[in-house]
Amino acid sequence: MWNYSKKLMEHFMNPRNSGQLPNPDGRSEVGSPQCGDAMTLDIEVDDDDRITDVRFMTFGCAGAIASASALTEIVKGKTLDEALSVTNEMVVEYLGGMPEEKFHCSVMGHEALEGAVRDFKRKRNTVRKHLEAMFRDLSWDSAGVLGGTPPGIAHVHPSRVLLEFPGDPGEGAVEAVSRELSGRVGRTVEVKVKR
Amino acid sequence: MKAYLDNNATTMIAPEVLEEMMPFLTHRYGNPSSFHSFGGEVMKEVEKARSRVARLIGAEPEEVFFTSGGTESDNTALRGGCSINPLRSGLLVSMVEHPAVLNTAKKMMRDGTPVGFVPVGGDGLPDMAALAEMLVPETGLVSIMTANNETGTKFPLAEVAEIVHPSGVLLHTDAVQAPGKMELDVKAMNVDMLSLSAHKFHGPKGVGILYVRRGVDLPPFIVGGHQESGMRAGTYNVPGIVGMGKAAEMALEELSAVAGNMKAARDRLEEGILESCPGASVVARDSDRLPNTCTVLFKGVESEAVMTILDMEGICVSSGSACSTGEIAPSHVLTAMGIDPMTANTAIRFSLSRYTSGEEIDVLLDILPGIIEKLRRISPYA
């Protein structure tokens, strides 16, 4: 048996934030082909780039499961940049130490977080790209709900955008943008109006 | 501890074995090599033990040399066997040998010995056609184990002998897992050398033997005094040797009586696991296996995690996982059988002994399904 700390064992036996999110803003799947471990990590991010929810699933040893659990606890509530600055050493320290031979088991969590953040940014860029294209060429707006003037883009998120309209947009305009954008992105993207 | 199901790692010492050893740990401390009868009387006990071990494997007592255990015996057989004839220094071993053989072979290869690794099939058995092809004029020794420690698969040594002996190649077998679980007869197996370790069959740790067929001109293992006919110097480990003798006698006597019980208990454990744990499968289930061993793959669940919880519950097993030992790769045995590394990392080995009780199996079957279920819930591959 490895000399696992009490706290590590506690996280292994009662992992926090395990599972998957139904509609994650960012998801990653990473594996270590060397030792055969693997995990998934889902994040939910608010409009301030803050991680509001995080879930993991791990195929791995007690050290890998506890490290993933600890990482989710540490990064929850942090901004993406803050979360990415969390090091492997901080996770090990949070767990009250780990046998040196097992350090590699905890590395996967950080890779998974990087992957989930990358996925979040990729999704966000996709939404932004489609939105910008939509506003450059308004030919899709055959009904003319935007009146020929595109709104400004205040904030983009993988599942919602915040738009600034010159005047008061009608219900029809918000709905039409959301429908067109969701169609282009391939999943539902909510449109909010900045007042 | 509630259940000890790791008997392929080591076994409990039989009470009868300890009893026979005790005088030699206390008042009968004479050196068997001494002139005086205080020591000379002890030599009689060493020779009695030699006869008992010889009987276990169907050998002559003078063909049995005591060593410090299986690893020393394997090292000696491989290094010695390849040095008898300088023109035939080549070695072939199977890919699923115990590290005592495998790592010795790898070291010899680094030092310049021509070494080949014989592949195995999905059933865990060595590929006989490959073996025949790999035999070359420079091959001097082939080492193939009697039964695999991880899967329990028994290897057809007599068939191996038929392939290697006509080319004048010597055959060694690591039979460490066999005593008390299957019949051993060096003549029927047609081997030239065979390794045993006492602690795998209820004897003490730190003692083993190497059987060397009469006529095989093996060089001395360890040089020094004239013990073991000059073959293996060093003062006799008398308590260990006496204990091994008694353990050998018991393994032979009890084989017919207990092998059936052991297999029934193993099969109950195996069927119980397959019924209660979804996604579980037994490795090499259809092969001819030792009656005490089974390795189970638990889909989606890494075995070190399972072992960690089992350990908390007082249940001892072992695994094919990389993580449990600090190794970087999972079981070489399972991967050699074509099992991918991730699946090999789900392997748990259960190994029984003649002392394993029904309660021990009940405890395991009671606790294991819940553990597998718990870990499958957080696994991305369940």
Separation CA B75–CA B99 (nearest Å): 10
Interface touch B378/A65, C-beta < 8 Å: yes
Segment B354-371 mean pLDDT: 97
Using CB atoms within 10 Å of the CB of residue B204, give its burial: 0 to 12 exposed, 13 to 18 middle, 19+ buried: buried
Active site residues of B: 323
Convert B284-318 to b/e letters by CB count within 10 Å (16 or more is b): beebebbbbbbbbbbbbbbbbbbbbbbeebebbbb
Interface touch A36/B380, C-beta < 8 Å: no
Q: What is the ipTM of this complex?
A: 0.86
How near does any CA of chain B get to the CA of A168, in Å? 47
Looking at beta carbons, which residues of chain B come within 8 Å of A28? none
The tokens describing B86, both together, are 């300088």
Segment B191-212 mean pLDDT: 98
- H helix or E strand, kind and range, residue A176: helix A171-185
Tens digit of each residue's pLDDT (9 = 90 or more) over A129-182: 999 999 999 999 888 888 888 999 999 999 999 999 888 887 788 999 999 999
The model's confidence at residue A33, banded by pLDDT at 50, 70 and 90, is: low
The tokens describing A90, both together, are 């901080």
Interface touch A36/B304, C-beta < 8 Å: no
CA B381 to chain centroid: 33
Contact of A14 with chain B, judged by CB distance below 8 Å, is answered with no
Interface touch B378/A101, C-beta < 8 Å: no
Contact of A21 with chain B, judged by CB distance below 8 Å, is answered with no
Looking at beta carbons, which residues of chain A come within 8 Å of B322? 34-36
Tens digit of each residue's pLDDT (9 = 90 or more) over B146-184: 999 999 999 999 999 999 999 999 999 999 999 999 999
Segment A22-35 mean pLDDT: 86
Closest CA to B143 of B114, B182, B101: B101
Separation CA B172–CA B160 (nearest Å): 10
3-state secondary structure A61-127: CHHHHHHHHHHHHHHCCCEHHHHHCCCHHHHHHHCCCCCHHHHHHHHHHHHHHHHHHHHHHHHHHHH
Looking at beta carbons, which residues of chain B come within 8 Å of A10? none
Query: Which chain A residue's Cα is nearest to B303?
Result: A61
Q: E-assigned strands of chain B? A: 3-4, 64-67, 90-94, 115-118, 139-143, 170-174, 193-197, 208-212, 280-282, 293-298, 315-316, 318-319, 347-351
Tens digit of each residue's pLDDT (9 = 90 or more) over B287-326: 999 999 999 999 999 999 999 999 999 999 998 665 656 6
Interface touch A34/B329, C-beta < 8 Å: yes
Closest CA to B233 of B244, B218, B220: B220
Q: What are B's interface residues with A at a Cβ cutoff of 8 A?
A: 300-302, 304-305, 308-309, 311, 321-324, 326, 328-330, 341-342, 344-345, 377-381
Question: Is residue A34 pLDDT above 70, yes or no?
Answer: no
Segment B7-18 mean pLDDT: 97
| Cα distance between the two ends of chain A | 60
What is the reported pTM? Answer: 0.92
Bridge pairing between strands B280-282 and B208-212? unpaired
**Which of A:83-102 have CB within 8 Å of B?**
101-102
Mutate which: B297, B306, B308, B318, vs A, most A CBs within 10 A:
B308
Sheet holding B170-174, edge to edge: B64-67, B208-212, B193-197, B170-174, B139-143, B90-94, B115-118
Which residue of A2, A37, A57 is in closest CB contact with B302?
Answer: A37
Segment A38-61 mean pLDDT: 95
The tokens describing B247, both together, are 């353990």
Inter-axis angle of helices B303-312 and A6-13, to 10 degrees?
110
